[in-house]
Amino acid sequence: MSTSLLNQVEAAATLIQQSTYMVVFTGAGISTPSGIPDFRSAESGLWLKDDPMQVASATAFREHPERFYNWLRPLLEASWKALPNPAHHAIAQLEEKGFVKAVLTQNIDRLHQKAGSRKVIELHGATSQFHCPMCRSVPQDSQLIIEEILGGSIPHCSRCGGILKPDITLYEEALPEKAWVAACQETSQADLFLIAGSSLDVVPAASLPYQAYQHGSRLIIINYSATYLDRYADVVIHQNVAEVLPLITEKVSNRR
């Protein structure tokens, strides 16, 4: 470990130990080490292959459900098979130790829950839940629906025959109100806000860290690329979050 990185890890661990209400905000970069592709990276982002308005918008779902599910299928499969990586486990450990009060995530893969995090607010929903836009019914067996989709089918509502929609936020849709209100409440209480694996490009979710900063929260940013908040952060680490977060968590644990 370089001296520079060691100093950054030490500084982050100190901030965590001094905090009384730490909130973690995560994006696609925390899940790519688990094999889930991100959407906007310069070399492999999903939007280099597809126009999101053509495959991942509310209009695409309504008018071209086959196109929508052809796009969703490989992402759903990756999410379903993926396992949490050391970054997810590090956050769960910090929650278990009482430091992390909530995890706000832009991800739809449920890897935080798989790692053991208990208070997770999913700003963009999750691929593991479905509902019928026609009659508003909620199927009980999501696993059966996922298996149906992965088998090449489009899932239909058993009650009215409508096409089932995963509980994820598409383009042209607002964020789930309940999740947004809860995230804003957590943000307003934070005295330390840790951003992990997010380029902070997607609004309105990306506005939450700045809201925290405006309320007086300290900021830690761990992300490969620069973000618009780097200049305001107390610690900025442009490295692999799956390697750095466990180092910080270990440092916090050893000090205690």
Cis check: omega of the bond before 204, within 30 degrees of 0: yes
CA 131: distance to chain centroid? 21
Both structure tokens of 41: 């990276």
Both structure tokens of 20: 């009384």
Beta strands 120-122; 125-131: pairing state: unpaired
Number of other residues whose CB lies within 10 A of the CB of residue 95 = 22
Number of other residues whose CB lies within 10 A of the CB of residue 114 = 15
Tell me which residue has tokens 């292959």: 49
DSSP assignment letter at 214: H
Q: Is 238 a catalytic residue?
A: no
Alpha carbon distance 80, 5 (integer Å): 34
Beta strands 165-168; 125-131: pairing state: antiparallel
Both structure tokens of 253: 């644990």
Cβ–Cβ < 8 Å for 166, 136:
no
Contacts of 4 (CB under 8 A, 6+ apart): none
Catalytic-role residue among 89, 124, 156, 215: 124
Cβ–Cβ < 8 Å for 121, 186:
yes
Phi and psi torsions of 113, nearest 5°: -65, -40
Which residues are identified as catalytic? 124
